[in-house]
Chain A
Amino acid sequence: MTGSIATGEIILVVGGGISGMTAALEAAECGKKVVLVEKSPTLGGRTALLYRYFPKLCHPACGLEINLRRLKGNRNVRVLTLAQVTAISGARGDYTATVKVAPRYVNDNCTACGDCERAVQAEIPNPYNYGLDQMKAAYLPHAMAYPQRYVLDPSIAGTEDGERAKSACKYGAVDLDMKEDTLEIRAGAVIWATGWEPYDAAKIQPYGYGLYANVITSVEFERLADPHGPTGGKIVRPSDGKEAKNIAFIQCAGSRDENHLRHCSRICCMASLKQSQYVREAYGAEGRSTIYYIDIRAIDRFEDFYQKVLKDPGVQFIKSKVANIVQDGKTGDVILHGVDTEGYHRYANSHDLAVLAIGMQPSVAAADIPAEVIADSSGFIEGALAGSGVFGAGCATNALDVNRAVQSSTAAALRAIQVVNRVARAEEAS
């Protein structure tokens, strides 16, 4: 599958979010051959599910468009979606990765015309909106999805719905007989960029996530604010659809806590500051945000954004670790209890909606990576073993914001190039 190029000169990148895409593109734009493996049906990862970035409040889709254009124009990168690396054997300069490719049930004849989606009846929870709404079981993940190709959920393979999709497709793109495939990919170096996932909020029992509809996580809140999200960009509460104008943001939800995540997740302070501005954008003077925090970690130039939000009369800061949350059965309001440590006042504050600034944990714990890396106590990749050609990148290595994740991935690309260049020199010499 790797054609005529020397296999030890290929760089395998695992994970197609912004870190993996960056590592792949930066290496490819140095002239290297890359195989990019992504577990979901589309590239873009978690940043594609964000409405805006801090501190510029610009749109992640803009950078994704640029990266996709770079990718479309560069033949050095081969993309495999719905693919997972299950094993890596060999040594620096000569690895073999086993990649399991799940069936998409749609081949590359697909023109993304949408006929299958219209034909199919079954609906499934939409993972691209964190399950806040439903989507058809034949779907294009989102408007920026790449490859721009439909997917059939495995649940409808072998059902009438599957047949409906198949007969609706004029282009022979629906292939219900697709099976899981296993590929072997040889590569000189591996960049592991599997990113992060939100900490399971239900584990923070006093906050009642999962119990109370109006306690949601920060990643879910992104979807509420996004015009592509389940509410078309309306910030409303899940329990009754009422406009959520008075919102509590709870910092360190899972982070900086030895019972949960011992590390600080870095991004959550800035994320809540940013989200307070979504409330302001949606409701103007009526929008009120209260940020419950321990320390506001607006590091380096981000301080400017913090200062800007501090001046916003609609945003209040309370230095407190929230003790617990209950939802009023009648009004649907959430009531936060705790102690304001600046002056030690007890409070019981009522809000329309509570947003947990949820912590970041590695999607794949370092111990579960099918190659040896140095792990830290939070499961991030601390570094590469001496003599190894497997390098971490992005949020697989630490709790990072987008800018730092991209920086980390660019560095990882060079580390991988060092390996494959050595292979190339050795091959030239022999």
Chain B
Amino acid sequence: MSDMKTAAYLCTGCGIGERLSAAQLAKVAEREGKMHLVRQHAFLCSSGGVQLIRDDLEREGVTHLMIAACSRRAKTEAFHFPNTAMSRANLREGVIWSQPDTEEARETTQEMADDYVRMGCAEVKKMKLPAGNPDLGHARRLLVVGGGISGMTAALEASRAGYRALMVEKSGSLGGWAARLHKRTAFREPYTDPADTGVGEMIAALQSDPNIEIVLNASIAKTDGAPGRFKVEIAVESGSARTEDVGAIVQATGFSTYDAAKLPEFAYGKTPNVVDQAGLERLAREAGANPIRRPSDGGEVKSVVFVQCAGQRDDSGIHLPYCSGFCCATSIKQAMYFKDANPAVDTAVIYTDLRVPGNGEDFYRSAQSKGVTFTKGKVTGVEPGGNQCKVSFRDLILDEDTAISDVDLVVLATGQVPNSGVNIGDPEDAVADAEVKPISILNLSYRQGPDLPQLKYGFTDSHFICFPYETRRTGIYAAGPVRRPMDIAQATEDATGAALKGIQAMENAHAGRAAHPRSGDLSFPIVRLDGCTQCKRCTVECPFGAIDEDEKTYPVFNESRCRRCGTCMGACPVRVISFENYSVDTVGAQIKAVEVPDEFSEKPRILVLACENDAYPAIDMAGMQKNVYSAFVRVIPVRCLGSVNAIWITDALTCGYDGIMMMGCKHGDDYQCHFVKGSELASVRMSKIGDTLTQMSLETERVATYEVAITDMARVPRLIDEYAAVINKIGMSPLKGFA
């Protein structure tokens, strides 16, 4: 690149100047790094130091900066030069703070620093400034699928922020389950009585909102595109179809009640006097201002038993294993329907753990003061006899089997089952018989399947505690009970948050920047299709389903779906995928820049490829705590271990490195990789590298993968030193000097 002008800045503050030879570093930057400008400063992050850099950018036309100072995690406010390519050599946390300040260590410490300067220079020269792609689509209308409380909330809240919304509802009316409720549980002070649902007002608000268009009796026949430019085919029951442009999607498809017919031991279906909670709401609505009557004969209800966890929290593998969260409060509310109308009605709630968090406790107290009985027990059976039932249970307090007879009405708290469409992660769903195959909700035309990936038990929840809206399909956010079991109050909050995420996705697409966790990143994968072998690895492995295939199975990248993790780059066997500022070359050049001493030097070189979010900060914090580790390692942060291309490994080995440590996040069920599969993919890929090592006549120990957490600042130095000991034992690589 002829218009590239490079500059290296060496900071000698924080002890760098005392511990290292700055003159030597400058020489390395100049002669080996071939930097056009090399400057030293005793306090580079000071306003004077920063001004020096700014002046060079302006007056000298510098385009590429290499800053050799502290870690890339430190002093980010000072070293902020937008529109300039920049690399940072970590001489403080990564060298002088992690090496002993002794005379013996002086030489290896200097070598480490020299290498980081070489690497920083090599990297920046391969970096291009990400241009960003503002042409990704500018649709700013939010599609909301589902017209229950969650969907209506998302549409209304988006509209209040000035965005248009398109609501598609499968049935002929809005309101979902909430519209079928008599009352809702108490959700504000004093938390003593059932409250009006407010659904009618909400529907009216929606219908009169000029920003919101409502399509009833309709489903999504096809979803094409990406955030900012989704094209959605809407099929209306009448047979008409239309295609709409939307920028983002909130999926608020709600839940179905667990089928109580699967609970024959509770006599559901054997007598109309056993109902589920939804059935009781129906009875209450039908009764209106009058008392609820016994379904079988319209007789007076004098005794009601509520069976909690009916078909839930089940460890037999037959029913729902989870707790639906809302049903304890719902039973309390329903018991109040009876008690408020006639305090003489006996109402008993049989539960194992009563779960009413927060101010739900006041609602519980109120029920107790109204005379609702709560019994810790497990219902074992319901026997119908005439117009009444007998409810048998194990009393867990008295530790004995007992029963309540002459029960007029039994209410089963059966819980929520998410309406989440096709489980694309489950091969059985994909091949299942068409008749039982779940109906897709979004009908995404994505290479990886038609719906949102599910986390567990059908819920499309995020896997991340800190990031409940993290989605594996950028721009599509689940809200309400389809995401996680929840009540109306939580669904309202959830849908408001999901609407924000939808808006954010549209704004990101509009500006061509990445969504969380690499928020604002303007780089994107560039693919050189003339070298592509159509192997499909990138399209299969992308954790976000961002890459489709054309008719010749070439990858088609959808940038605004992409999260910039680089898993595609790591997957590509022919190395045709790269980002402007993070590529096969930016890392490859760093690996090759390291000076590898000969095999008689007793100075092995160990390459560490570390996840930039967890392993790298752990190494950094090890330095901050002055936890010493081997001077033979050279650490390169990577966006995700999934982005590690095998060529880096073979390059490193051919260059004569003696070992390679790959440090990524925990994988498996409780995976901690923020790109979902990155660390797992890396581990799978590396498990196959043994053959390559054997072909190169190298020991398999020369490549090792580790799960490292961000808190491992004491463990990481230990891992490094143990690995260095292993290398010491197996000896130096025989491949030195051939590259």
Chain B CB within 8 A of A143 CB: yes
**Interface-forming stretch among B236-244, B358-366, B428-436, B555-563?**
B358-366
Alpha-carbon gap, A61 to B188, bound state (A): 34
Chain A CB within 8 A of B117 CB: no
> Is B162 a contact partner of A421 (Cβ separation < 8 A)?
yes
Chain B stretch 317-356: residues in CB contact (< 8 A) with chain A: 321-325, 353-356
B371 to chain A, nearest CB (A): 19
**Which residues of A lie under 8 Å from residue B324 when comparing CB positions?**
300
Q: A70-B517, A70-B519 are in contact. Are A264 and B356 (CB under 8 A)?
A: yes
> Is B397 a contact partner of A263 (Cβ separation < 8 A)?
no
Chain B CB within 8 A of A411 CB: yes
> Is B466 a contact partner of A414 (Cβ separation < 8 A)?
no
**Which residues of A lie under 8 Å from residue B613 when comparing CB positions?**
62, 65-66, 69
**Interface-forming stretch among B227-235, B385-393, B404-412, B502-510?**
B502-510
Chain A CB within 8 A of B493 CB: yes
**Which residues of A lie under 8 Å from residue B496 when comparing CB positions?**
410-411, 414-415
Chain A CB within 8 A of B313 CB: yes
> Is A301 a contact partner of B189 (Cβ separation < 8 A)?
no
The listed residue with most B CB atoms (<10 A of its CB), out of A31, A51, A109, A301, is A301
Q: Which chain B residue has the least Cβ–Cβ distance from A140?
A: B624
Chain A CB within 8 A of B465 CB: yes
Alpha-carbon gap, A417 to B461, bound state (A): 25
**Which residues of B lie under 8 Å from residue A64 when comparing CB positions?**
466
The listed residue with most B CB atoms (<10 A of its CB), out of A61, A111, A148, is A111
**Interface-forming stretch among B568-576, B679-687, B708-716?**
B708-716
Q: Which chain A residue has the least Cβ–Cβ distance from B498?
A: A410
> Is B161 a contact partner of A418 (Cβ separation < 8 A)?
yes
Alpha-carbon gap, A418 to B516, bound state (A): 22
A33 to chain B, nearest CB (A): 14
Q: A411-B497, A418-B160 are in contact. Are A341 and B397 (CB under 8 A)?
A: yes
Query: Which listed residue (B357, B359, B376, B457) contacts A301, Cβ 8 A?
Result: B457
> Is A113 a contact partner of B466 (Cβ separation < 8 A)?
no
**Which residues of B lie under 8 Å from residue A302 when comparing CB positions?**
323
Q: Which chain B residue has the least Cβ–Cβ distance from A409?
A: B497
The listed residue with most A CB atoms (<10 A of its CB), out of B162, B313, B504, B621, is B504
Alpha-carbon gap, A305 to B330, bound state (A): 24
> Is B670 a contact partner of A63 (Cβ separation < 8 A)?
no
Chain B CB within 8 A of A183 CB: no
> Is B465 a contact partner of A53 (Cβ separation < 8 A)?
yes
Alpha-carbon gap, A405 to B508, bound state (A): 24
**Which residues of B lie under 8 Å from residue A407 when comparing CB positions?**
468-469, 490, 493-494, 497
**Which residues of B lie under 8 Å from residue A262 when comparing CB positions?**
361-362, 365
> Is A300 a contact partner of B486 (Cβ separation < 8 A)?
yes
Q: A70-B516, A407-B494 are in contact. Are A263 and B75 (CB under 8 A)?
A: no
Interchain Cβ contacts within 8 Å, total number: 245
**Which residues of B lie under 8 Å from residue A297 when comparing CB positions?**
353, 355, 357
**Which residues of A lie under 8 Å from residue B80 when comparing CB positions?**
75
**Which residues of B lie under 8 Å from residue A341 when comparing CB positions?**
397
Chain A CB within 8 A of B66 CB: no
> Is A30 a contact partner of B466 (Cβ separation < 8 A)?
no
> Is B666 a contact partner of A58 (Cβ separation < 8 A)?
yes
> Is A298 a contact partner of B323 (Cβ separation < 8 A)?
yes
> Is B466 a contact partner of A63 (Cβ separation < 8 A)?
yes
> Is B188 a contact partner of A60 (Cβ separation < 8 A)?
no
Chain B CB within 8 A of A160 CB: no
Q: Interface digits, B456-484 against A, CB 8 Å rule (1 contact, 0 not)?
A: 11010101111111000000000000001
Chain A CB within 8 A of B520 CB: yes
**Which residues of A lie under 8 Å from residue B464 when comparing CB positions?**
63
Q: Which chain B residue has the least Cβ–Cβ distance from A413?
A: B500
Query: Which listed residue (B13, B360, B617, B670) contacts A264, Cβ 8 A?
Result: B360
> Is B358 a contact partner of A58 (Cβ separation < 8 A)?
no
> Is B517 a contact partner of A66 (Cβ separation < 8 A)?
yes
Chain A CB within 8 A of B526 CB: no
> Is B354 a contact partner of A295 (Cβ separation < 8 A)?
yes
**Which residues of A lie under 8 Å from residue B43 when comparing CB positions?**
109, 111, 170-171
Chain B CB within 8 A of A211 CB: no
Chain A CB within 8 A of B301 CB: no
Main secondary structure of the interface of B (DSSP, over half): loop
Alpha-carbon gap, A303 to B359, bound state (A): 21
Query: Which listed residue (A108, A143, A377, A382) contacts B713, Cβ 8 A?
Result: A143
Alpha-carbon gap, A264 to B359, bound state (A): 7
> Is B322 a contact partner of A65 (Cβ separation < 8 A)?
no
> Is B74 a contact partner of A303 (Cβ separation < 8 A)?
no
> Is A58 a contact partner of B499 (Cβ separation < 8 A)?
no
Query: Which listed residue (A51, A63, A111, A226) contacts B75, Cβ 8 A?
Result: A111
**Which residues of B lie under 8 Å from residue A65 when comparing CB positions?**
613-614, 617, 710
> Is B157 a contact partner of A376 (Cβ separation < 8 A)?
no
> Is B519 a contact partner of A74 (Cβ separation < 8 A)?
yes
Alpha-carbon gap, A414 to B507, bound state (A): 14
Alpha-carbon gap, A53 to B463, bound state (A): 13
**Interface-forming stretch among A97-105, A239-247, A330-338, A396-404?**
A396-404
Q: A266-B357, A414-B496 are in contact. Are A58 and B670 (CB under 8 A)?
A: yes
Chain B stretch 509-525: residues in CB contact (< 8 A) with chain A: 511, 515-517, 519-520
**Which residues of A lie under 8 Å from residue B578 when comparing CB positions?**
none
A381 to chain B, nearest CB (A): 12
Q: Which chain B residue has the least Cβ–Cβ distance from A68?
A: B73
Query: Which listed residue (A143, A378, A399) contacts B624, Cβ 8 A?
Result: A143
Alpha-carbon gap, A40 to B613, bound state (A): 25
Alpha-carbon gap, A390 to B621, bound state (A): 38
Q: A143-B625, A295-B354, A297-B355 are in contact. Are A304 and B322 (CB under 8 A)?
A: yes
Chain B CB within 8 A of A72 CB: yes
Chain B CB within 8 A of A228 CB: yes
Alpha-carbon gap, A171 to B457, bound state (A): 57
> Is B710 a contact partner of A61 (Cβ separation < 8 A)?
yes
Q: Which chain B residue has the least Cβ–Cβ distance from A26?
A: B500
> Is A170 a contact partner of B13 (Cβ separation < 8 A)?
yes
Q: Interface digits, A408-427 against B, CB 8 Å rule (1 contact, 0 not)?
A: 11110111011001100100
> Is A264 a contact partner of B361 (Cβ separation < 8 A)?
yes
Q: Interface digits, B127-163 against A, CB 8 Å rule (1 contact, 0 not)?
A: 0000000000000000000000000000001001110
Chain A stretch 244-297: residues in CB contact (< 8 A) with chain B: 256, 262-266, 295-297
> Is A300 a contact partner of B323 (Cβ separation < 8 A)?
yes
Alpha-carbon gap, A295 to B365, bound state (A): 14
Alpha-carbon gap, A344 to B468, bound state (A): 42
Chain A stretch 23-72: residues in CB contact (< 8 A) with chain B: 25-26, 29-31, 51, 53, 56-67, 69-70, 72
A55 to chain B, nearest CB (A): 8
> Is B500 a contact partner of A72 (Cβ separation < 8 A)?
no
B512 to chain A, nearest CB (A): 13
Q: Which 6 A-B pairs have the closest CB atoms?
A: A63-B466, A410-B497, A411-B496, A414-B500, A266-B357, A295-B353
11 contacts between A and B (CB under 8 A): A53-B466, A108-B77, A111-B13, A148-B74, A264-B358, A295-B353, A382-B189, A402-B466, A410-B496, A413-B500, A417-B500
The residues of B with any CB-CB pair to A shorter than 8 Å are 13-15, 43, 45-46, 70, 74-77, 80, 157, 160-162, 188-190, 313, 315, 321-325, 353-362, 365, 376, 396-399, 456-457, 459, 461, 463-469, 484-486, 490, 493-494, 496-497, 499-501, 503-504, 507-508, 511, 515-517, 519-520, 613-614, 617, 621, 624-625, 665-666, 670, 672, 674, 709-711, 713-714
Question: With contacts A297-B353, A299-B323, A411-B500 known, what are 11 further pairs, Cβ within 8 A?
Answer: A18-B466, A30-B500, A53-B465, A59-B710, A109-B46, A262-B365, A263-B362, A299-B325, A407-B490, A408-B497, A411-B497
